[in-house]
Amino acid sequence: MNKQGTFDLPAAPEAATPAEGDLELAVEQAIEACGGDAREAVKALLVANGFLENEIAELRAAVSKGYSRGRHAAQRDRKE
């Protein structure tokens, strides 16, 4: 939190990319959490990602374009 009481967010997604060592640790933790089965870890992460994408879509729909100052474009239909 900064002096104004708000959070500083990275300007671009690349700025939020974890360090290589952190990413490897996260991979190991995800696989371990799924009993050592990498396929199950991938499935769990895909389910979690889908949940987060739905949350983002709901939040975008709830925030007006004026309030967000046009920082988010209208959600386009995704091809599955």
Q: How far is CA 1 from CA 51, 54, 77, in A?
A: 27, 27, 35
- Please determine, for residue 11, whether its predicted confidence score (pLDDT) is greater than 80: no
Q: How far is CA 69 from CA 24, 32, 45, 72, 75, in A?
A: 37, 42, 32, 8, 16
**What local confidence, expressed as pLDDT, does residue 1 receive?**
47
Confidence band for 20, pLDDT divided at 50, 70 and 90 = confident
Residue predicted with more confidence, 71 or 5: 71
How confident is the model over 30-52, as pLDDT tens digits?
999 999 999 999 999 999 999 99
